[in-house]
Amino acid sequence: MTDVVRLEVQGDIALITVNNPPVNALGQAVREGLLKAFQHAEADQHVRAVALVCEGNTFIAGADIKEFGKPPQAPSLPEVIEVIEGCNKPSVAVIHGTALGGGLEVALGCHYRIARKDAKVGLPEVKLGLLPGAGGTQRLPRLAGVEKALDMIVSGTPIGAAEAVEHHIVDELFEGDLREAGLAYARRLVDEGRGPRRTGEQTQGLEGADNEALIRAKHAEVAKRMAGLFSPLRCIAAVEAATKLPLAEGLKRERELFAECLNSPQRGALVHSFFSERQAGKINDLPFDVKPRSIKTAAVIGGGTMGVGIALSCANAGVPVKLLEINDEALQRGLQRARDTYAASVKRGSLTEEAMEKRLALVEGVTEYAALADADVVVEAVFEEMTVKQQVFEQLDAVCKPGAILASNTSSLDLNAIAAFTKRPEDVVGLHFFSPANVMRLLEVVRGEKTSNEVLATAMAIGKQLKKVSVVVGVCDGFVGNRMVFQYGREAEFLLEEGATPQQVDAALRNFGMAMGPFAMRDLSGLDIGQAIRKRQRATLPAHLDFPTVSDKLCAAGMLGQKTGAGYYRYEAGNRTPQENPELAPMLEAASREKGIERKALDEQYIVERCIFALVNEGAKILEEGIAQRSSDIDVIYLNGYGFPAFRGGPMFYADSVGLDKVLARVKELHARCGDWWKPAPLLEQLAAEGRTFTDWQSGQ
């Protein structure tokens, strides 16, 4: 064996134990240990069955990320699983925690599987631009059926143990000690005379369904929901091979498709996204011995859409939360909004009635600030107006207990000016949730100039507690995400003055991979929000900077987006599908005429570069100013909060992949043509001149 895999023989049962903290990853030593352990068990004439267990908090949770990008070392995982499945003695995988990726593939190689009730299994490789490459695409459909296998493999989403039993992936559930459960099940196999039941020889999952129709349907779904992604199509092709080929040929086809994914340029972007998310939780200048405060109770100020979403995020995490509104009427609206949100989840089948009531019981409505005296963290989510927020924090300072975290959900205002209205600015931090807060994963943690290290660490811990992707940002107008998206949206609107339509701009950026076009997004959030930001910026920015005027014309006409039935698009009652707004065309003509612009056709590449490179140039300025710690943090924000396509890695990674010299050349052209909004960021100029990338710069910090 190896240091991380040991073999014990108890009577006629071989117990193989993996112990490779923290997640029992399938590094070379584990693979070699498993191979030798199963070979020894098979060669030992006294052994009649094998149980595979893992120590620690989880079964094998996947590949060893330390081996990413390195030459493969023998034995390969497919070779190991071939030995496990080929063993002439029955084996059982004892699953707890998670069995993900190669971990589930190892379990599928075993002849039987049992799992703790709270375990999860899945094949998430598609999220790294890959497909399961050690038999997962061939063995899973043989047990679970083509439909379930496609769902799991193409989405990469794990399922719970009970669902795994329902789909014949797991044989039964257990409670209690892992070793005892594994030995007992192996003993049953021997006593009942059950021999090896090799997954690769099973066919029940491939029978009784129109597999060709299921594969066609999944192709259509991917074309609609994952347009431009490379690996999901290869995942489908691999599962299709399982329906048509013997196991050995199917495994060969799987390896061919795996190699295609491995060599895809999208894989680099997706791997970057994966590691960037892990790195975002590391704060460069935070002392290692700083401990976060305990957060057991929360409060939220404001029962609007955002406030309720934040409260539900707390309830979803099991944290009791008080929701404060100015009067009982407003409070009842907020509480009803909370119930309606959960009821929609129940209707979709993603939440049970029992779970809904349990979570709603954690949300207590209050109308007096004094009721917040015992809260460990209070999140302000009131109207985006400085004086209103300052008044709220003045009251919180008076009633909240010492050591309470006072957090603002402001999306753009000066956190330091808010903190100044308290006698404890060191306890003030920004927690910028994204709407809907109970759904969106991103959380910008805004570090004020007086925010203490302990409070910053606690804010990050709160994000983790609420299952958010948290990124530390500094104080400036709009922080990182909204400061950059202002540049993006401004350029999109300038394109309307030059001759484009909202449909053309939105289509170009959707084709690039953005989840939504900028004008559909503005209509969704409300044009009045952007107008308020522009008014504030006009008062502080140089007078010679030009602003687009189309949005202001729409606001003046009362067309604020979906909530008024018209904005850049028109919306029919009860239908959010955007239609052409016939009143917009004259406004576009007028906006162009007022600035002496001759309208002309614009090509898609120009539209994309005009919007995306505006993000990149502003991102470079943000890095120089120290508002973001690293370029990958900006990517994490855009991937998780703004619908940037994961297969492009985020705006800064995308710029690296294009080449910063090419990006700079385009930025300079636009600076000459469009004015000082496009003044090149000094960092962009420096890196382009040195032939470096944002990633290089980040590594050197």
Q: What is the pLDDT of residues 250-278, one digit of tens each?
A: 999 999 999 999 999 899 999 999 999 99
Q: Answer yes or no: is 281 within a domain.
A: no
- Sign of the alpha-carbon dihedral angle for 609, 615, 621, 626: negative
Q: Answer yes or no: is 488 within a domain.
A: yes
Shared domain check, 530 and 659: no
SS3 584: helix
Shared domain check, 434 and 573: no
Domain range for residue 398?
298-473
User: Which residue, 67, 61, 71, 65, is CA-closest to 24?
Assistant: 61
Per-residue model confidence (pLDDT) at position 542: 79
User: 374-403 as b/e, with b when 16 or more CB fall inside 10 Å?
Assistant: ebbbbbbbbebeeeebbebbebbbeebeee
Residue 199 DSSP label: G
Q: Are 664 and 693 in contact (CB under 8 A)?
A: no
Shared domain check, 613 and 569: no
Residues paired with residue 301 on neighbouring β-strands, in sequence order: 324, 380
Shared domain check, 450 and 485: no
Q: Which of 85, 125, 147, 277 is catalytic?
A: 125
pTM of the full predicted structure?
Answer: 0.89
Shared domain check, 257 and 223: yes
> Amino acid identity of 350?
S
> Which CATH number do you get for residue 418?
3.40.50.720
Shared domain check, 352 and 206: no
> Which CATH number do you get for residue 65?
3.90.226.10
Shared domain check, 607 and 535: no
Q: In whole angstroms, how far apart are CA 672 and each of 608, 676, 678?
A: 18, 8, 8
Instruction: Check if 105 is active-site.
Output: yes
Classify strands 405-408 and 377-380 as parallel, antiparallel or unpaired.
parallel
Shared domain check, 540 and 507: yes
538, 567, 601 — which closes off a domain? 601
Per-residue model confidence (pLDDT) at position 481: 96
Q: Which of 32, 85, 105, 497 is catalytic?
A: 105
417, 452, 473 — which closes off a domain? 473
Per-residue model confidence (pLDDT) at position 614: 98
> Which CATH number do you get for residue 680?
1.10.1040.50
Tokens of 93: 């995988």
Shared domain check, 98 and 188: yes
Q: Answer yes or no: is 533 within a domain.
A: yes
SS3 615: helix
Q: Answer yes or no: is 484 within a domain.
A: yes
Tokens 């709220």 label which residue?
A: 392
Shared domain check, 488 and 403: no
Q: Answer yes or no: is 648 within a domain.
A: yes
Q: Answer yes or no: is 273 within a domain.
A: no
577, 601, 625 — which closes off a domain? 601
Shared domain check, 29 and 57: yes
Q: Are 51 and 181 in contact (CB under 8 A)?
A: no
Instruction: Check if 364 is active-site.
Output: no
> Amino acid identity of 104?
L
C-alpha to C-alpha distance for 218 and 216, rounded to whole angstroms:
5
Q: Answer yes or no: is 288 within a domain.
A: no
C-alpha to C-alpha distance for 315 and 351, rounded to whole angstroms:
13
Q: Answer yes or no: is 270 within a domain.
A: no
Per-residue model confidence (pLDDT) at position 78: 97
Which residues make Cβ contacts (< 8 Å) with residue 20, sequence separation at least 6?
A: 4, 27, 29, 30
Per-residue model confidence (pLDDT) at position 700: 62
For the chain, how many structural domains are there in total? Answer: 4
Point out the residues of the chain with pLDDT beneath 50.
none
Shared domain check, 454 and 518: no
Per-residue model confidence (pLDDT) at position 65: 77
> pLDDT, tens digit, for every residue of 492-517?
999 999 999 999 999 999 999 999 99
SS3 317: coil
User: Which residue, 36, 62, 43, 46, is CA-closest to 13?
Assistant: 46
Per-residue model confidence (pLDDT) at position 343: 95
Q: In whole angstroms, how far apart are CA 498 and each of 253, 504, 569, 595?
A: 50, 12, 19, 10
